Amino acid sequence: MAVWFLSNQEVLRSVGNLFGMPNKSSAHTCIMQVLHAIVSLKEKYVMWPDVKDYPEIAAHFETVGGFPNVVGAIDGTHIPIKPPSCDRDSFINRKGWPSINVMAVCDHRKVFTAVFADRAGSVHDARVFRVSPLGHQLEHGDIGDGRYHIIGDSAYPLLPQLMVPYKDNGHLTAAQRKYNLVHASTRGIVERAFGQLKGKFRRLRGLECNKICNSLLIIDAAFILHNFVLLHDQKGMEGFDEDDETCEGEGGDANTSFTSAKAPQKAIGKRDHISAALA
Split at pLDDT 50, 70, 90, the class of 243 is low
Lowest mean pLDDT among 95-109, 207-221, 244-258: 244-258
Q: Name which of 127, 80, 79, 75 is nearest 103 in CA terms.
A: 75
Q: pLDDT at position 257, please?
A: 39
Residues 170-206: tens digit of each pLDDT = 899 999 999 999 999 999 999 999 999 999 999 999 9
Q: pLDDT at position 64, please?
A: 87
Q: What pTM does this model have? A: 0.90
| Segment holding 67, helix H or strand E | none
Question: In angstroms, rounded to a whole number, what is the distance separating the alpha carbons of residues 72 and 112?
Answer: 9
Percent of the residues in the chain that have a pLDDT greater than 90, as a whole number: 78
Section 99-110 average pLDDT = 97
Q: What is the total residue count of the chain?
A: 279
Split at pLDDT 50, 70, 90, the class of 33 is very high
* φ/ψ of residue 218, rounded to 5: -65, -45
List the chain domain ranges. 1-40, 46-278
Q: Is pLDDT of 154 > 70?
A: yes
